[in-house]
Structure 1
Amino acid sequence: MVTTTAARGRRRMVNGMAPPHPAVRGLKGIVLALCCAVVIVPFLSVVATSLADQEQITRAGGYVLWPQDPTFDAYAAIFRGGVVTRATLVSIGVTLVGSLLSVAVVALLAYSLSRPGSFGSRPVLMLVLVTLLFNAGMIPNYLLIKQLGLIDSWWALILPPLVSAFQVIIVRAFFLEVPKEIVDAARIDGAGELQILTRIMLPLSKAVLAVVALFQAVAYWSAFFNALLYLNSTEKWPLQLVLRTYVVDNAAIGTDLPGEVVPPQQSLQMAILVVSLVPILLVYPFLQKHFAKGVVIGAVKG
């Protein structure tokens, strides 16, 4: 009888703790469902509105939750116009180039700061930490970009956010966690610092570098303020600045559809918004497996 009672007690324990009461679990489920609804319902409304016609939009008061007879005329219109297509290509190019350069620079800087005795590591680390607290401001940054001759250049979108001090600290903390014996063994075999970085450190740090790449890709893809400041030519605008112009400023979107088929302006705006969201939604699942591991790397020592 005692053994049976003890076995039941062990079954009731989960990871050394008693499972929550069914009412508590039900309340947690309701709260989680509400949180998911807060995120999912607006997104579904945006997609549905982009597929709806003017009659459905008017009847629904501006935002449709479920379109009847969905049509892709809005997407055909924004891509035939050329502005959104060009802006999408610009955003993809800036995001790819910026993310790759950012990962490379962050990895190089973090590795140099993680090596004990490297020249100037302490002052440079202090400078990196200072940037977490202080920012030069908009006007000094603009004057710097102007002096470098980067006004109306795509490099003005890539170079300013290239290095994140927070990400440098995270990657440096990971490099410090790599056992010293591995590095010493590589040096005994004749490996130089560049070989140690490329053949040992980088393969071991795929998770944290994937997180850095994801954060930088989201930052580059979502940025519009630098484009607003530094770009004078509208043909160089990224997608987010086009989105801001057409959705936030409510500028009219020209169409080039044959005949008299003209999609509603709100459907066109929501279609641009969907186009701006889809790339990140497609990339994230491939990096998600690294995210949970990489985001906490360096947070716990020992």
Structure 2
Amino acid sequence: MVNTNSEHGGKAGLLPFRKSGLKQPTAGSLLFDCVIYALLLAMILVFLYPIYYMAVVSVSNGMNVIRGEVKWFPIGFNLEAYKMILSDKSIIRSYGNTLLYTSVGTLINVAATALCAYPLSRSKLYGRGLFTLLIIITMLFHGGMIPSYLVVNSLNMTNSIWAIVIPPAINVWYMIIMRTFFQNIPNEIHESAFIDGANDLLVFVRIVLPLSMPVIATMTMFYAVWHWNSFFPAMIYLFDSELYPVQIIMRSMLIDGSVGNNDPARDLTTIQTNMKYAVIIVTILPIIMVYPFIQKYFVQGAMVGSLKG
């Protein structure tokens, strides 16, 4: 009798596992998972090592860098390169310009993209297909650099912040993603709001935008990264060096070899390589710090916005 109960008890203990439909992992599946994790770890190292190496070199002794001794850990730790960067007025000023261009440009981008995407997401918009086609055509055909410069110059926007933030106000691909996200919002929500007396603008501001925070956060990050890394529009439209973003300064350092605060009497504890890598680290650090805070929105914002055309 005891054996029978234990036998039934053993079977009963297996019932939840069987009902759940789960299967025990096989040796092949475990091996496959190990290979995938190993590949992902290798990719992470490949992508992160250049950034890590630049950070290590930027705080190492210049003579050790010249001799090629710096590989994985800093040698002769010093922060002289960062002190020189923070004491250079041109770099500090250009850093402030980049912050201004990124914040204002991202605000304009997100607002313009949302205002364009919402009407195109509504089926009752007359001529919606034609408007969408005309907008998509701009992805395939572009006037070119010279016509764009002539337009910006004719509007008297050259050598000002507006030449940096107004021309790229809407990215068509991002607008399509945001439009598709708006389309996924149930139509019953709009109808109930209209019954309560709300108009399209009120529905957009009070209902659609709060429900669309994932895609808005995703687009904000995409636009902010683009503005932060952008330097070519500044080369074309800005003539005053006081308006240059930090990317222009970094470009001159990397290509021309010119480093702000060059002192011929400076010892070899800090060389141009230290300065270059330190500027790169200082330039990319804000984006790296911001990314983790909104990374959780990326999958929901970008993937949900691309489910339907």
TM-score (norm 1): 0.90
Alpha-carbon separation, structure 2, partners of 1:30 and 1:238: 40
Matches within 5 A, 1:179-190: 179-190=186-197
What is the number of equivalent residue pairs in this alignment? 298
Alpha-carbon separation, structure 2, partners of 1:45 and 1:120: 54
Matches within 5 A, 1:33-182: 33-60=41-68, 64-118=71-125, 121-182=128-189
Q: 1:30 to 1:115 in 2, by over 3 A?
A: closer
Answer yes or no: is the 8 Å Cα contact 2:62–2:268 preserved in 1.
no
What's the C-alpha RMSD, in Å, of the aligned pairs? Answer: 2.7
Alpha-carbon separation, structure 1, partners of 2:177 and 2:104: 22
Alpha-carbon separation, structure 2, partners of 1:107 and 1:100: 11
Return 44-53 or 115-124, whichever deviates more.
115-124
Alpha-carbon separation, structure 2, partners of 1:11 and 1:165: 44
- Shift of residue 247, structure 1, vs aligned partner: 1.2
Answer yes or no: is the 8 Å Cα contact 1:12–1:19 preserved in 2.
no
SS of equivalent to 1:295: helix
Correspondence for 1:263 among 259, 267, 270: 270
Correspondence for 1:293 among 292, 300, 308: 300
Answer yes or no: is the 8 Å Cα contact 2:61–2:269 preserved in 1.
no
Answer yes or no: is the 8 Å Cα contact 1:13–1:19 preserved in 2.
no
One-letter amino acid matched to 1:12:
K
Match of 1:32 in 2: 40
- Shift of residue 236, structure 1, vs aligned partner: 0.8
Match of 1:240 in 2: 247
Q: Using the aligned pairs only, state the percent identity.
A: 32
Alpha-carbon separation, structure 2, partners of 1:111 and 1:101: 16
- Shift of residue 59, structure 1, vs aligned partner: 2.0
Answer yes or no: is the 8 Å Cα contact 1:171–1:208 preserved in 2.
yes
One-letter amino acid matched to 2:300:
K
Alpha-carbon separation, structure 1, partners of 2:97 and 2:74: 31
Cα deviations by residue, 1:77-128 (Å, 9 ceiling, x for unpaired): 0121111111111111110111111111111111121223335544322221
Match of 2:23 in 1: 12
Q: 1:135 to 1:144 in 2, by over 3 A?
A: same
TM-score (norm 2): 0.88
Match of 2:283 in 1: 276
Q: 1:185 to 1:5 in 2, by over 3 A?
A: closer
One-letter amino acid matched to 2:271:
P
SS of equivalent to 1:232: coil
Alpha-carbon separation, structure 2, partners of 1:129 and 1:50: 44
Structure 1 ranges of 4+ moved more than 4 A: 1-11, 258-262
Match of 2:210 in 1: 203
Alpha-carbon separation, structure 2, partners of 1:128 and 1:153: 27
Cα deviations by residue, 1:273-302 (Å, 9 ceiling, x for unpaired): 001110101111111111111011232249
One-letter amino acid matched to 1:22:
L
The higher radius of gyration belongs to 2
- Shift of residue 262, structure 1, vs aligned partner: 7.1
Answer yes or no: is the 8 Å Cα contact 1:74–1:267 preserved in 2.
yes
Match of 1:23 in 2: 31
Structure 2: tracts of 5 or more residues without a match: 1-6
